[in-house]
């Protein structure tokens, strides 16, 4: 078995890739909403995706031993 502490660590590259992926997926949702003339246009889904990804990364990797209490209060 490997080191169990490595489960709660993330490299800077992985962190940046996850945040960029959240922004790109939010951009795709924003484009779709803009094409269909919905109230929340292009920027809102990007901000929501980036914010939720940041909160999840902080709660999983930023807190002691990955305690993730704020994960239960995030709604989809």
pLDDT for res 64: 63
pLDDT for res 14: 92
- pLDDT, one tens digit per residue, over 16-70 is 999 999 999 999 999 998 898 888 888 899 999 999 998 888 877 776 654 555 5
Is the per-residue pLDDT at 6 higher than 50? yes
Contact 54, 63 (CB under 8 A): no
Regarding pTM above 0.75, the answer is: no
Phi, psi at 21, each rounded to 5°: -60, -40
As for how many domains the chain has, the answer is 1
Look up the domain containing 55 and give its range.
4-73
Which residues are CB-contacts of 15 (< 8 A; sequence separation ≥ 6)? 57, 61
Helix (H) or strand (E) segment spanning residue 6: none
Taking the C-alpha atoms of residue 14 and residue 60, their distance in angstroms, rounded to an integer, is 14
């Amino acid at each position: 078995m490997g080191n169990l502490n490595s489960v709660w660590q993330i490299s800077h590259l992985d962190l940046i890739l996850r945040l960029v992926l959240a922004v790109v997926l939010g951009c795709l949702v924003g484009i779709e909403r803009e094409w269909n003339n919905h109230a929340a246009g292009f920027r809102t889904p990007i901000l929501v995706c980036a914010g939720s990804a940041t909160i999840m990364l902080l709660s999983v990797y930023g807190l002691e031993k990955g305690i993730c209490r704020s994960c239960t209060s995030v709604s989809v």
